[in-house]
Amino acid sequence: KAIKSQSEKLIHVSNHYYTIPQITLAQSLSDLTLGGKVFFSNSGAEANECAIKLARKWGKRTGTRDEGRGTKYEIVTFKNSFHGRTIATLSATGQKKFHKGFEPLLGGFKFAEFNNLSSVEKIISPKTCAIIVEPVQGEGGVYPAKKEFLIGLRKLCNENKLLLIFDEIQCGLGRTGKIFAFKNYGVIPDILTIAKSLGGGLPVAATIAKNKVAEIFSFGDHGSTFGGNSVCCAAGIEVLKIVSNKKLLKNVKEVGNYFLSELRKLREKYDVIKDVRGFGLMLGAELKINGKEIVSKCLQKGLLINCTQDNVLRFLPPLNINKKDVDIAVSILADVLKNYR
């Protein structure tokens, strides 16, 4: 309804102008997150590109006299991470399989071990300007960050005058049982990136930055022809209303916990399952074998899942599923797994 209504009024306008849907969605995102400014683009990779550029310009502006202005440009990222497929976001991604064929990659990214604070401390230098992290690594195999780890990153950033960037492109917008994943941890980033479900199927992404960071950008530093398209923003407004509903978020937590417990029961029954992890409705079951065939057999029986890291079955169901849906899914998975004992 919102898409139809907006398309009858205004589909696109030059980015020299603001539109009501843009302003409304930006205000809602700001109020729900960092209280800062919002830049709209079309995809998660673009949202992270914006964050990377903003961090680098921050580093150029904030280097001390001793450090030398302009020398702070390195960004700490993490092994097993995934931030996109553009050349900059690919360079920030900590998985070599995605790098093959695209070398040489963009320099200035240093890789630490996820959930290992000491590994981060070892590579922070006078050249470091930011840390970018997924609160839950998705493509990396569904690994949630430990609370003490994110708290430690925030402290390191405060002590070293670094920006903390949270990539919530996969784990945000209700997926973990909170409207945004960082709210599970009580740790507030300086920049937040979101995309995927924000447009309800239409292409819209957002980079949200605290005001002190956002003001680093001046006119012409960054832009997007179609970012903040009126129709996409109209859809985004309705999506935010839906995923911020307390009843829906409660469902994500309750059904997510039930799903997790049922998957753990399968782990006890089938030796082929090595580990089960995640929270909310972002779950993973790590196998001792390649999962491609299992995904295919589940599809044949009506269950849509995928496999990441070759052996991690990833479950990202709709946020409004119920326990009966989980029972059906687990039953299908069990029927497939019984042949892999």
Q: Report, as an integer, the average pLDDT of 311-323.
A: 97
**For 35-83, what is each residue's pLDDT tens digit?**
999 999 999 999 999 999 999 999 988 765 455 456 899 999 999 999 9
Cis peptide before 126 (omega within 30 of 0): no
pLDDT of residue 70: 60
- Mean pLDDT in the chain? 95
Q: What is the pLDDT of residue 62?
A: 78
Dihedral sign of CA atoms 165, 169, 174, 175 in order: negative
Taken in order 170, 89, 15, 189, the sign of the CA dihedral is positive
Q: What percent of the chain has pLDDT over 90?
A: 92
Domains and CATH numbers, the chain: 2-243 (3.40.640.10), 246-340 (3.90.1150.10)
Tell me which DSSP letter residue 173 carries. T
Q: Provide the whole-model pTM.
A: 0.95
Tokens of 240: 């935010």
pLDDT of residue 66: 53
pLDDT confidence of residue 3? 95
Cα–Cα distance measured from residue 198 to residue 38, given in angstroms and rounded to the nearest whole number: 14
- pLDDT above 90: residue 198: yes
For the chain, give the percent of residues with pLDDT over 70: 98
pLDDT grade for 219, boundaries at 50, 70 and 90: confident
> With b meaning 16 or more CB within 10 Å and e meaning fewer, what string describes 16-55?
eeebebbeebbebbbebbbebbbbbbbbbbbbbbbbbbbb
The predicted-structure confidence for 248-298, as pLDDT tens digits, reads as follows 999 999 999 999 999 999 999 999 999 999 999 999 999 999 999 999 999
In this structure, which amino acid lies at residue 29?
A: L
Q: Which residues neighbour 193 within 8 Å (Cβ) at sequence distance 6 or greater?
A: 44, 47, 48, 50, 51, 165, 166, 167, 168, 169, 205, 206, 207, 208
Distances 249 to 174, 263, 299 between C-alpha atoms, Å = 6, 21, 27
**Of 20-24, 65-69, 144-148, minimum mean pLDDT range:** 65-69
SS3 7: helix
pLDDT of amino acid 63:
63
Beta strands per DSSP E along the chain: 37-41, 74-78, 109-112, 128-133, 136-137, 143-144, 163-167, 191-194, 205-209, 273-279, 282-287, 306-308, 312-315
What was the pLDDT predicted at 64? Answer: 54
Of 11-15, 290-294, 325-329, the range with the lowest mean pLDDT is 11-15
